[in-house]
Amino acid sequence: MEENSKISVIVPCYNQAKFLEDALNSVLLQTHSDWECIIVNDGSTDDTQIIARRWLKKDTRFIYLEKLNGGLSSARNAGLEVAKGDYVQFLDADDYLHPDKFQASIDNVADCKVAIVVSNFSLFVTLEKLYSPYCVLNQELLTLEAVLYNWDAGFSIPIHCGFFKKELFDDFRFPEQLKAKEDWVMWVSLLKMQPKILFIDSNLAYYRKHPESMTIKNTMLPETLKAVSFLKTILNEEEYEKLYARLISRYYLAQMELKRRLHQIKNSNSYQTVLMIKKLLKKLGLLKFSKKIFPFFLWFKAKN
């Protein structure tokens, strides 16, 4: 029965046309063929529409939705609303799936009690060169305790590592007020349902590293606090208080580590040498002049 089960792939896309073809091709190459791929154009201003419509002509299993920009959560929710599959596979437009991802997942849900299958993953910049992941997943990490209290403190789970029974989303939608951490909220919400989870120790998902990646942009503290506020609605009092205490401790320790490193830098020989040169230039009246010509030296060094 599982062999004939349909998979709904949801691909949100906002101005990532340059990566979209790779993502869709990874769906087309799947060895398990019973799938639909829902491309959700979240108000893109690039060539997303052109590329998506090209893929509609290539294979009728591709479906195209177009909506006003509402964010990643909104786009995923739009896909969930029309998904007709027995299982859900999320795939961001800049990521990629191994050709055996669907089949390996289907093989591991032969037990009808299994609701989520999670694989390991690799990092990539181009598909020709893969890198070790920023964390190595295992079965022990796929618990409510681990995900709730240790997310972003040693590990996180790329959403396309997961493979989900569609019924898990009957009562869950991504919180559209969040601009980040919505995947954390999803994992916590689903794990609160106590589903049976199986782990595949194979790198069947590929996570792209590039400057536009949301996960490597600045600090996410404000969005983390918004996510915690949302989680308060689904956690019991003990879980919520423990989570808040963990986060306060984590950020306090991070600040202490930052201060320690700054202290090390200020006491280093190189820093003291620069400070001495700066004082000397100021004493000679050359500090303003040196600030003007310093960018030129950096440009010259870069050119040579």
pLDDT value of position 223: 86
Q: Summarize the confidence of residues 132-142 as an average pLDDT.
A: 93
Is residue 70 pLDDT above 70, yes or no?
yes
pLDDT value of position 274: 62
Question: Which of the pair, 253 or 230, is modelled with greater confidence?
Answer: 230
Alpha carbon 93 to its chain centroid, in Å, reads 11
Own/partner long-range contacts of 243-249 (Cβ < 8 Å, ≥24 apart)? 243/148, 243/149, 246/149
CATH of 2-217, one of 3.40.50.970, 2.10.77.10, 3.90.550.10, 1.20.1530.20: 3.90.550.10
269: burial class by Cβ within 10 Å (0-12, 13-18, 19+)? exposed
Read off the pLDDT of residues 249-288 as tens digits, 9 standing for 90 and up. Answer: 776 656 665 666 766 666 777 766 766 766 765 666 665 6
Read off the pLDDT of residues 5-50 as tens digits, 9 standing for 90 and up. Answer: 899 999 999 999 999 999 999 999 999 999 999 999 999 999 999 9
* CA quadruple 12, 13, 16, 20: dihedral sign: positive
Q: Are 40 and 13 in contact (CB under 8 A)?
A: yes
Q: In whole numbers, what is the pLDDT of the chain averaged over residues?
A: 87
Distance (Å, whole) CA 59 – CA 172: 30
Q: Summarize the confidence of residues 48-76 as an average pLDDT.
A: 97
Is residue 67 pLDDT above 50, yes or no?
yes
For residue 208, the cross-strand partners are 124
Is the pTM above the cut of 0.85?
A: no
Alpha carbon 279 to its chain centroid, in Å, reads 46
Distance (Å, whole) CA 159 – CA 189: 14
Closest of 261, 260, 275, 119 to residue 201, by C-alpha: 119
Could you tell me what percent of the chain has a pLDDT over 70?
79
Could you tell me what percent of the chain has a pLDDT over 90?
66
Position 199 confidence tier, pLDDT thresholds 50, 70, 90 = very high
| C-alpha pair distances (Å), 195 with each of 104, 121, 171, 176, 236 | 19, 22, 14, 24, 18
Position 215 confidence tier, pLDDT thresholds 50, 70, 90 = very low
CB neighbourhood size of 226 (10 A): 19
Chain region(s) in the chain for CATH 3.90.550.10: 2-217
Q: Summarize the confidence of residues 199-228 as an average pLDDT.
A: 76
Kind and range of the H or E run holding 125: strand 114-126
Closest of 241, 143, 119 to residue 192, by C-alpha: 143
pLDDT value of position 32: 96
pLDDT value of position 222: 84
Question: Which of the pair, 219 or 44, is modelled with greater confidence?
Answer: 44
pLDDT value of position 40: 98
